Structure 1
Amino acid sequence: MQVEVRTTQDGSSTLYVPALDEHYHSTHGAVQEAVHVYLGAGLEPAMAKGKSPVRVLEIGFGTGLNAVLTLQRSLTATVAVAYDTVEKYPLAPDVISSLQAERYLLNPELLSLYEQLHTAAWDEAVPLLPRFLLRKITGALQETHLASNHYDVIYFDAFAPEKQPDMWTEEVFAQLYEAAAPGCLLTSYCAKGSFRRSLKAAGWLVEKLPGPAGKREMTRASKQ
Structure 2
Amino acid sequence: MLFPSVIALALAASTRAAIFVTSPTDNISFTGGQPATIQWNDDGNAPTLSQFGLAKVSIYTGNSAQQTNLQTISASLDVSNPLSLNFTPDASVGESGKYYFIRFESLALKDASNAAIPALAFSHIFSMDGMTGTFSADVQSQIDGQSTAPIGGVPTSASAAPSSTAASLTTSKASSTASSKPSGSASGSAKVAAATGSSAAVPSFVASSANLWLGIATGVFGAVVGVIVL
TM over 0.5: no
* Structure that is richer in helix per residue: 2
TM range (shorter): under 0.3
Q: Provide the TM-score with structure 2 as the length reference.
A: 0.24
